Amino acid sequence: MKYKIQNLEQVDNSWYFDGASIKFLASEFQTPLYVYSLSTIQNKIADLKKTFAEITPKHQLYYAVKANSNLTLLKYIAESGFGFDIVSAGELMRVKQATGRTDNIVFAGVGKTEYEIKLAAEAEIHAFNVESIAELEFIGKICSEVRKSANITFRINPNVDAHTHKYITTGTEKNKFGIMLEKVDEALDTLTKYDYLNFIGYQMHLGSQIKLGMPYRLGFDVLKTLIAKASERGLEVSEIDLGGGFGVGYEENEDFNLQDFIKQLKPQIPENITIAAEPGRYIVAESGILLTKVLYRKSRFAIVDGAMTDCIRPTLYDAYHPIANLSKGIFPDTDEFAKIENGEIDKASAVDVVGPVCESGDFLGLSRNLQAEQGDILGLLYAGAYGYAMSSNYNSRPKPAEVLVSKGKALQISKRESHEDLYRNEIFPE
């Protein structure tokens, strides 16, 4: 079976993404180029809203800004009724710029600075997700100084292993994230000392690329046991946040099983508690394609103009992204990743898609069953999350442009960086 991406279709031997011609996009905006489908984002949002409405009428979804923080995308996501999960002051300012609101923001992260806490408190965000007792004390002190009340949720480390990549597992005792279960009593006692802190509940985040509902059920069961601990201190739990991590189909073209999620969670939900979640990747990953042109063929190497600077996931995580030849309409099989892992790809015909950066680790895909000739436009699929957001200027390479497509129309939503942009903020001595 061949990979299929929502809204990527062939019409008269040419490929169109959300109605916009791939050939036109590559020519008009040049490559490498990030292209996002608004229809795909809207479909994913609709799926999640339907899922959570079936689980409980009391729910709230926060988009994880770190997945893709483009202002235009944030604006459209906000219009769907989502709040935002942030991890920095910069993300707070992006949400404010894009939406004009800050009251629907939850602030996560293990290393919030004094500046960030003050900024968020004064912006009257919805809540801080607190990850340690030391952080709790610091937030309490700062809120007292600025005389701003703040809602607090405790991010609990439930010690549930979601069995994902070691770099994206976050919910076990081996990880830096969250308050350990044995510290919850101490954290609750500490919180009651601060007049400007208002406890509203618990949060967790188990990791990324979770495909079934069971890990969330197990984590939720842990959080439910902590409700009594809060009640003993006169603290009411009004919100439980399940975090994010809903998986997408990089490797086998199958996303997070929403029906299994409903099956696992629906029987467990108390009527008086709002259930929240923080999806990011699930909303934007499939919506994005990184277009890149083949510059040269050199034995098994297809040397393209895209690089690890544009999408570092393959280099950083050894992550697999399916790659299609959109000039020739050649798509990988959905079992390609498994064949690569098992050494079943014919080495004589395999293609390594590599970039121009001066590093042996600069590649977008290795050992691919792919025809790729000079001038072909390739598409790195499922590139909407953690692609542009993690891009860099290594080798003094300008970052690519971003384009949003919708029903045949193409809107440029960020400019390609110029060479002057690379050193615009540097101070050159006289």
Catalytic residues: 358
Q: Which run of H or of E encompasses 354?
A: strand 351-354
Sign of CA dihedral 99, 101, 103, 109: positive
Alpha helices, DSSP H only, in 100-183? 114-122, 133-146
What is the radius of gyration, based on Cα positions, of the chain?
Answer: 23
Assess contact for 368 and 332: CB atoms under 8 A: yes
Query: How many residues comprise the chain?
Result: 430
Q: Tokens standing for 273?
A: 């508690």
* Residue 231 CA: distances (Å) to CA of 163, 179, 201: 33, 18, 11
Count of beta carbons in the 10 Å neighbourhood of residue 100:
9
**d(Cα 297, Cα 13) in Å, to the nearest integer?**
24
**d(Cα 367, Cα 301) in Å, to the nearest integer?**
10
**d(Cα 130, Cα 60) in Å, to the nearest integer?**
19
Count of beta carbons in the 10 Å neighbourhood of residue 33:
25
